[in-house]
Amino acid sequence: MSSKIVAIKIFLIFFIAVLIVSTNVSVQAKNNLPDALDIVVKISRMEEILKIFEDLVQTASKANTPPPTNMLRGMLHGTDWIDPNRPIVIGIILNETRPEIAALIPFQKQNNNFQGAYNAFSGTDYYIMTVPPIPDAHVSESLKNALVEASGLKSGDSLSITMNVSKIMKTYYDKIQEFMAQIENMPSNQELDKLDISQHEIREIFQKSIDTLSEIETISTGLNLNESIFEAFLKADAIQGSALRKLFTSTGDTFLLDNYSPQYQINFKSHSYNVAGMLDIINNCFGNFYKKMGIAFSSMASVYADFTGEMAGGINFENGKMVFENISILKKGKNYADFMEKTYLPWLEEYSINMNKMLSKQLSAQQQNLTRTRESIVKGHKVYGAKVNNLSFFPVPGQAAMTTGIAQNKQMFEYDMRMTVLDDLFITAPNDKRIGELIQISGNFKEKKSSAPLMSMNIDIASYIKMIIEMVPVQGLNIGKPPEMGKIIVKADTGNGTINTTTSIMINDIKKVIAWAKDIDFSNMSSTPAQTDTKKIETEIEPVNQADNHKKTRVMNENNVEYWRKKGAICSTYGNDKAAIKYYKKVIELDPNKIDAYFQLGISYGETGAYQKAILSINKALQADPQNGLYFYGRGRVYLLSGDEQKGVDDLKLAAVLGSRDAQDYLQSRKLN
């Protein structure tokens, strides 16, 4: 992938992740940066950080090996002499020739060995040295004074890096413009050529992005950690009067959805914020880029101009399928009776068509991203349906190519949407039953004061790891089941032109991940994608030409869930359902939580005529995933095979409502819908 593609992605990620995630700030970044410095790095409580890191390394080590921190301790000639109550400070002054860099190390007792080794200047209770250490190097008085000033500014952060962005942009303005001029002479890129994006237009994207970044006065990012929690943060302060400063301003402290708390693997909430301002900035920087891709960003902005930004919802990834629900607040004072039919769905369908055109250019193949499904009435409200397949709202070059690499998990990127508008509530859920529940819940919504952050999200760690594994499976890699863990917590807020975001995870959960990853067996891993050809799969599972390999593989596969699942799938595909039943039972014995195995076992029972056993097995799968249309379709087919047509048709109708195309086709062919 070319540097141009990477750079465009970086800018897109910055604006989508930083501009959308807006948050409250207690300490502004600029307060930790003396005027003389362009960049400041602070390290506080070094001894505590080293001990935490050593503890994590010990968790990861299979042998009692010395931690890598020993090398750092040796370079510093020990760490007990460093004052734990004051930060180590590294200061950088940038100029057009060569940056001036020096570090201040506060001490509680002198260390002559350290001073002599690095030719450090000694103050009353600190050493100052050049970075990297250079014999007989000189540190200017302005840099020394700035380091002393920075060391006196309080900071509760374990590690922080603060940059005077606006000052840096001014210092390197000429060099940035030289780089911009060179962009137009860069070699063409096949991926961009397909989208008909010229070098001049690429330069324009970069220039507008840099102009927007120049509206930031300071950015501070870093880590906070102790023996209990690990937290990463980002703080930014926008220049007075800039568009970013208006964006980084709280729009209110009331919240309508405070009592609505979805319980999903990923849950999110946000207060109202300046949606139009955020979209304007993205459009200014990347509007022409989207236009070249066939996407009218202005139409997206016009649709989302009706939203306040307040929303809450959740996402699950279960059995290779995504389940999604969300409630968003629309602006008051408007009639939204025709919003779905005349505004939202026409735009969504047009966007899907344009996305298909763009993907066909990149992949030379058409891909359907949105399909309208049946309408219904729930609690007196009209409900609209759509089936979505990997519909990204902020596409970037290369995304489609990435998607082809995980094409075997296409179902994971599909989800069913049922949508309705209730007064000023835009409600989305995976099925009509949940739509009805959300309509009922909405009767209890009352606007009230809230001190919660502007935006928050929590992610179940074990489920997230499982999702990643299912997205990008590696053949021959036996990773086992992730341990039970807590959540990753993301919070964001804005105020007074400042943005602050934090992402936190418990140290104990990090240890669990490390310990689990340590036991993964990589010895049988292959970088070759999983084969879909049956003969190739059987060859890979049980090599029969070499006795030793056969014996070794048999022992290794005895407790391998995926091995037995593949065996079952092969047998059921070729009609040997009696053998498939045996293999799926083995899967369940090894992993009782393998829900899909109950369903496949039930299907095989049905094919052998054991209908009662088939229904019982599929029921177990439905108990764990009651919104799975495929499961209802399978049970319906079993009922039909058993002669119970009424129950069969009822299940097929449920499956059709939940998005099963096979069920919809069957009912249509029988004129039962």
Kindly state the DSSP code that residue 413 receives in the 8-state scheme: G
Give the separation between CA 672 and CA 666, rounded to whole angstroms: 8
Cβ(395)–Cβ(355) below 8 Å = yes
The domains of the chain, with CATH numbers, are 534-669 (1.25.40.10)
* Burial environment of residue 645 by CB neighbours within 10 A (0 to 12, 13 to 18, 19 or more): exposed
Q: Where are the beta strands (DSSP E) in 171-287?
A: 216-225, 229-238, 254-255, 266-270
Cβ(33)–Cβ(218) below 8 Å = yes
Q: What is the pLDDT of residue 20?
A: 38
Q: Alpha-carbon torsion 623, 624, 625, 629, what sign?
A: negative
Q: How far is CA 659 from the centre of its chain?
A: 26
| Residue 209 identity | S
Q: What is the pLDDT of residue 64?
A: 63
497: left (phi over 0), alpha (psi -120 to 50) or beta: left
Tokens of 157: 């952060």
* Burial environment of residue 577 by CB neighbours within 10 A (0 to 12, 13 to 18, 19 or more): buried
Q: What is the pLDDT of residue 221?
A: 93
Q: What is the pLDDT of residue 330?
A: 92
Pairing of strands 159-164, 229-238: unpaired
Q: Is 91 helix (H, G, I), strand (E, B) or coil?
A: strand
Mean pLDDT of the chain: 78
**Terminal-to-terminal C-alpha distance of the chain:** 49
Q: Alpha-carbon torsion 637, 638, 640, 641, what sign?
A: positive
Cβ(50)–Cβ(525) below 8 Å = no
Q: Is 467 helix (H, G, I), strand (E, B) or coil?
A: helix
Kindly state the DSSP code that residue 256 receives in the 8-state scheme: S
Q: What is the pLDDT of residue 290?
A: 74
The number of residues in the chain equals 673
Q: What is the pLDDT of residue 12?
A: 39
Tokens of 227: 């023996």
* Burial environment of residue 8 by CB neighbours within 10 A (0 to 12, 13 to 18, 19 or more): buried
Q: What is the pLDDT of residue 294?
A: 66
Nearest to 162 by CA among 8, 17, 77, 41: 41
Cβ(92)–Cβ(164) below 8 Å = no
Give the separation between CA 303 and CA 276, rounded to whole angstroms: 10
Q: What is the pLDDT of residue 233?
A: 94
Q: What is the pLDDT of residue 161?
A: 93
Other Cβ atoms less than 10 A from the Cβ of 576: the count is 16
Task: Report cis status (omega within 30 of 0) of the bond before 132.
Answer: yes
Q: What is the pLDDT of residue 413?
A: 58
479 phi and psi angles, rounded to 5 deg: -100, -15
Name every residue whose Cβ is closer than 8 Å to that of residue 568 and which is 6 or more positions away in sequence.
579, 580, 583, 584, 587, 597, 600, 604
Distances (CA, A) of 434 to 398, 428, 430: 36, 9, 7
Distant-in-sequence contacts of 187-195, Cβ < 8 A, 24+ apart: 189/2, 189/4, 189/5, 191/1, 191/2, 191/5, 191/362, 191/397, 191/398, 191/401, 192/4, 192/5, 192/397, 194/361, 194/362, 195/292, 195/293, 195/358, 195/361, 195/362, 195/397
Give the separation between CA 428 and CA 384, rounded to whole angstroms: 9
Give the separation between CA 396 and CA 17, rounded to whole angstroms: 14
Q: What is the pLDDT of residue 195?
A: 59
* Burial environment of residue 63 by CB neighbours within 10 A (0 to 12, 13 to 18, 19 or more): exposed
pLDDT block averages, 10 residues each, the chain of length 673:
38 38 36 79 89 83 70 86 92 85 94 90 93 83 92 83 90 83 69 66 83 89 91 92 82 79 90 82 80 72 85 83 89 88 87 70 56 90 83 46 44 75 92 92 86 88 80 61 88 88 93 82 51 35 40 59 84 77 90 90 90 92 87 90 86 84 76 66
